[in-house]
Structure 1
Amino acid sequence: MEENQKRVREKYPLYRYSETAFKDVEATEYYRTRRYHPVNSGDTFDDGRYFVHQKLGYGSYATVWIAGDVKSTIKVKKASASTENIEDDLEIQRMKEVETSHAENFPNGPRYFVHLLNCLTVVGPNGSHSCLMMELLGPSLDNVLQAFEYNKQTLRPATILRSSRQLLDAIDSAHQAGFFHGDISYSNVAFTCKTALWNDDDAELFTTMMNNDSPHLVEHPIWPGWKENTCEEIRLIDWADALPVGSAVTRLAQPRRMRAPESFSRDILDYRQDFWQAGCVIYALFFQVKPFSFRWSKGSTDLIQTQIKMLGPLPLAWHGNWEELRLENPIEPPYWNDDMPFSPSLLMTDNFEPRRRAIIDASEANSASEDWYYETDEHTEHDYEGLKCLLDVMKGLFKFDLEIRMSASKAISVIDDAWIDHRKAMMQEMDKIED
């Protein structure tokens, strides 16, 4: 296995991790009654229709495997997250309804949410498991950010703008279908892997690395063959926590650092959580760091203070709630008050233009690099200028006041008014000619 890891790292320098080219496997105790179904490479599902090749990953509710014709995946949910009747699975229902709504409203339009191909139930030693067959995707945004940080690379301006708009489109499509995602995160935004699938040499990415004691405990690669390319798109994945747009709940499953401020100050949460979390993802695409870091020992108080330092004061109506929260969870000064100083090194508005210049400088410096090629052309300056609109987008999505927080559709219009994806349009025209 070590030799295989070395060969992949040498062939794909983008993911040249010293020790983390492959993720750890899940714990063996996950495979017990009502938990994971033991899947092994070489297994088949649906009477041989889907052949299991390689594990892609695992999470709290499922394991995910490359299956079928190596262009699809199978998500095998743990028994406790499955339903006796596959049609009663809420995740499957949400995905089907979003798909149907999109097909009716945008029959020829692009789709930026993961495509459900089929679903079935498998019964095993640990119970009955819902299985979702979906399109094969590449690395998550989380994986890409880690890789680019490790290799000291910068996402291309067009990639930042294109991915931001596509994410907003996916959210808007879901809302038009009557649902909000509720758990948008860096791990639930994934890139397609069209380039890797076009290259037959990348078959080694799916080489199985077995654990001799437990065959279903298979280490999985973090897509070392993925390359930044105009053809790659994003997909919003994991719809297990999606809810009707009209829902008002008291709790949502979400990473703590992505929690919107109203989750600490209000009794109910709604679809506008999606807009805040979209802002977090777009911020990460642009700055290549995640916003709103905090000290775990200080919890929510420290997180809100970070949000204040980056975005500005809370609305006056929130001051009472904030003071109560601060007294319950004391933190060291300076905490929020009328005279709170805002450091230029923390405010997003102060940091935006220096970061945009850094992206431009990195693109120019790497335009002739053998390791990282950026296609400077007649659209390059348009891309550089287009980045400016993302400040207004993030400021709108990061509004503390829910009543004026920018919607996905409005954010899309802000981008469309400032930027045209000329390269994507050219590629689509070429595809039409070839067809």
Structure 2
Amino acid sequence: MTAIKMLRLDSAAVDFDKQLQARLAWDASDDLEIHKRVLDIIADVKKRGDKALLEYTNRFDGTAFKTAAELELDRAALQQAWDTLPSTQAIALQTAADRVRAYAEHQKLQSWQFTEIDGTVLGQKVTALDKAGLYVPGGKAAYPSSVLMNAIPAKVAGVGELIMVVPTPRGETNALVLAAAHVAGVDRVFTIGGAQAVAALAYGTESIPAVDKIVGPGNIYVATAKKLVFGQVGIDMIAGPSEILIICDGQTNPDWIAMDMFSQAEHDENAQAILISDDAAFLNQVEASINKLLPEMERAEIIRASLTGRGAFIKVANLSEAAQVANRIAPEHLELSVAEPEALCAQIHNAGAIFMGRFTAEALGDYCAGPNHVLPTSSTARYSSPLGVYDFQKRSSLINCSAVGAQNLGKIASVLARGESLTAHARSAEFRI
């Protein structure tokens, strides 16, 4: 097997910024043919409802459903999947669910209000979404952890009804995914997938209720459909390839760092793994570890393609400079594999999730640490946040004017409204003076 030679960048280079941007560049341009196909599917499901949904499901998933009623799994199926899990899997699933739920409980937004001197009451009312939809990949791509991460925050928020869609190619279901739905408290499960499932959740059919927000990962057709129904419903985010950025001071076992890079590189060829260090000799050690460990990996060719196509080693002068580079990259996952991670973390402003210290592998966050693994990618951590309970809650402003408050605010509103030539606004306020 040919040895991997990692791309090396040096922050001291004159053209470092240009080189870094070139490595980070991700072509997320729309495939117009896919876009058109998805638009047609959405329009068809919107127009013909269950009939279109059945046709697409049977065509794309190799199923033979006759009626829409067959598309829904009853709760007994979820219970059975849970009851028949091997004990090791059941314990792991339950422990992970408990940790995700405990963390989510700390995120709940609460209603609040205050009273001004004149008796006017101002505040904010927090309410949960009525219905949310969760998309879960099906068949061989089984992600029970994704079920937990998306469903539990919704239930903690108090969502009235959580509806999960999961395709079952050739009728194949995954026991871990169904067991995770049971543990997480999913209310209804439909065996549908693809753009047609997103359309059904967005617009509703005779059998599937329309939801207020759709969350969860999927392929390019699912991602495109979510983008196209946004506005009709809310969505979590449009996710790009998985990313990991590691800052290391050269004192961590290089095998650990290499495997942490593999953990994201194995997702797909477009995943990105970057290591930053102020120790050039350590970068050489990690490269040696990469080449030593790679032949052992089941997904070696995917990892190789990811590391050679999008991976990088970055040499910096010191850890403060490493933090500056990390903030420009704004990674999905950031490992601070250093002696004093708290001090370095104080300099980090842009990251989806920050893994502190030498013993905190990013993979723990993917499954069972507690914080959500649905994170902003493609530098969107500059302005967005991990999925959480707050994504399933709405905020309404509360305004309750006293008679005196209406007098005071009415005069101010009148002046401003007349300045905008909106006299009905002005008179509405003036009537109460």
Tell me which interval the TM-score lies in, with the shorter structure as reference length. under 0.3
Larger relative contact order (CA 8 Å, sep ≥ 6)? 2
TM-score, length-scaled by structure 2: 0.26
Pick the structure with greater CA Rg.
2
